[in-house]
Amino acid sequence: MSIQILRRNFLKGLGAITAANTLPGLSLMNAYAQAANDYKALVCVFLYGGNDANNLVVPVQTAEYNVYAAGRGTIALPQSSLVPLAQATGTRFGLHANLAPLQQVWTNGDLALLFNTGPLVQPLTRALYQAGRTARPENLFSHDDQQEQNQSAIPNNQATTGWGGRAGDRLQALNAGSAVPMNISVGGNDIFLKGQTVPAYSVPTGGAFGLTTTGGNAAQQQARRTAMQSLFALDRQNQQVKAAGDVISSAVNASAALNTVVNNAASAAAPAFQGLNTGLSRQLLAVAKMVEGRATLGLRRQIFFAQAGGFDTHQNQLVDQGNRFNEVGPALRAFYNGLVALGMQDQVTLFTLSDFGRTMRVNDGGSDHAWGNHHLVMGGAVKGGETYGTFPNPALGGPDDTDRDGRWIPTTAVDQYAATLAKWFGVPDADIPAVVPNIARFASRDLGFMA
Q: Is 297 exposed, middle or buried (0-12, 13-18, 19+ CB in 10 A)?
A: buried
Over range 330-358, report the average pLDDT.
Answer: 98
Q: Please report how many Cα atoms fall inside a 13 Å half-sphere around the Cα of residue 256, on the Cβ side.
A: 10
Yes or no: say if 421 and 351 are a contact pair by the CB < 8 Å rule: yes
> Which of 424, 414, 432 is closest to 151 using CA atoms?
414
What pLDDT is stored for residue 199 in this prediction?
Answer: 86
**CA atoms of 146 and 370, how far apart (whole Å):** 10
- Higher local confidence (pLDDT), 137 or 28: 137
Task: Give the phi and the psi of residue 174 in degrees, each rounded to 5.
Answer: -70, -20
Task: Give the phi and the psi of residue 127 in degrees, each rounded to 5.
Answer: -65, -45
What pLDDT is stored for residue 245 in this prediction?
Answer: 57
Mean of pLDDT over the chain: 88
Over range 414-440, report the average pLDDT.
Answer: 98
**CA atoms of 1 and 214, how far apart (whole Å):** 6
Yes or no: say if 413 and 372 are a contact pair by the CB < 8 Å rule: no
Q: Please report how many Cα atoms fall inside a 13 Å half-sphere around the Cα of residue 416, on the Cβ side.
A: 24
pLDDT tier for residue 226 given thresholds of 50, 70 and 90: confident
What pLDDT is stored for residue 399 in this prediction?
Answer: 97
Pairing of strands 83-87, 90-95: antiparallel
* Range name among 20-34, 220-234, 322-336, 388-402 with the lowest pLDDT average: 20-34
**CA atoms of 106 and 31, how far apart (whole Å):** 36
> Which of 388, 293, 389, 275 is closest to 333 using CA atoms?
275
Q: For the chain, list the domains and their CATH numbers.
A: 18-22+35-441 (3.40.720)
**Residue 397 pLDDT greater than 70, yes or no:** yes
Over range 318-344, report the average pLDDT.
Answer: 98
Could you read off the pLDDT of 144-180 as tens digits, one per residue?
999 999 999 999 989 999 999 999 999 999 999 998 9
**CA atoms of 273 and 269, how far apart (whole Å):** 8
* Helix/strand/coil (H/E/C) assignment for every residue in the chain: CECCCCCCCCCCCCCCCEECCCCCCCCCCCCCCCCCCCCEEEEEEEECCCCCHHHCEEECCHHHHHHHHHHHHHHCCCHHHCEEEEECCEEEEEECHHHHHHHHHHHCCCEEEEEEEECCCCCCCHHHHHHCCCCCCCCCCCHHHHHHHHHHCCCCCCCCCCHHHHHHHHHHHHHCCCCCCCEEECCCCCHHHCCCCCCEEECCCCCCCCCECCCCCHHHHHHHHHHHHHHCCCCCCCHHHHHHHHHHHHHHHHHHHHHHHHCCCCCCCHHHHCCCCCHHHHHHHHHHHHHHCHHHHCCCEEEEEEEECCCCCCCCHHHHHHHHHHHHHHHHHHHHHHHHHHCCCCCEEEEEEECCCECCCCECCECCECCCEEEEEECCCECCCCEECCCCCCCCCCCCECCCCCCECCCEEHHHHHHHHHHHHCCCHHHHHHHCCCHHHCCCCCCCCEC
**Residue 85 pLDDT greater than 80, yes or no:** yes
Over range 115-129, report the average pLDDT.
Answer: 97
What pLDDT is stored for residue 65 in this prediction?
Answer: 97
What pLDDT is stored for residue 215 in this prediction?
Answer: 61
CA–CA distances in Å: residue 271 to residues 7, 141, 281, 285, 308: 29, 40, 12, 10, 22
pLDDT tier for residue 184 given thresholds of 50, 70 and 90: very high
CA 310 to chain centroid = 16
**CA atoms of 323 and 342, how far apart (whole Å):** 29
- Higher local confidence (pLDDT), 246 or 28: 246
Percent with pLDDT over 70 in the chain = 84
What pLDDT is stored for residue 386 in this prediction?
Answer: 98
The number of beta carbons lying within 10 Å of the beta carbon of residue 401 is 25
CA 420 to chain centroid = 14
What pLDDT is stored for residue 7 in this prediction?
Answer: 30
- Higher local confidence (pLDDT), 16 or 424: 424
pLDDT tier for residue 299 given thresholds of 50, 70 and 90: very high
Could you read off the pLDDT of 30-75 as tens digits, one per residue?
333 344 459 999 999 999 999 999 999 999 999 999 999 999 999 9
> Which of 142, 201, 211, 203 is closest to 168 using CA atoms?
201
Over range 115-123, report the average pLDDT.
Answer: 98
What pLDDT is stored for residue 232 in this prediction?
Answer: 66
**Residue 401 pLDDT greater than 60, yes or no:** yes
Give every CB contact of residue 382 below 8 A, 6+ residues apart in sequence. 109, 110, 111, 112, 349, 449, 450, 451
pLDDT tier for residue 189 given thresholds of 50, 70 and 90: confident
Percent with pLDDT over 90 in the chain = 76
> Which of 52, 89, 2, 136 is closest to 406 using CA atoms?
52
What pLDDT is stored for residue 286 in this prediction?
Answer: 97
What pLDDT is stored for residue 124 in this prediction?
Answer: 96
pLDDT tier for residue 28 given thresholds of 50, 70 and 90: very low
| CA torsion, ordered 382, 384, 387, 389, to nearest 10 deg | -10
- In this structure, the chain runs to a length of 451
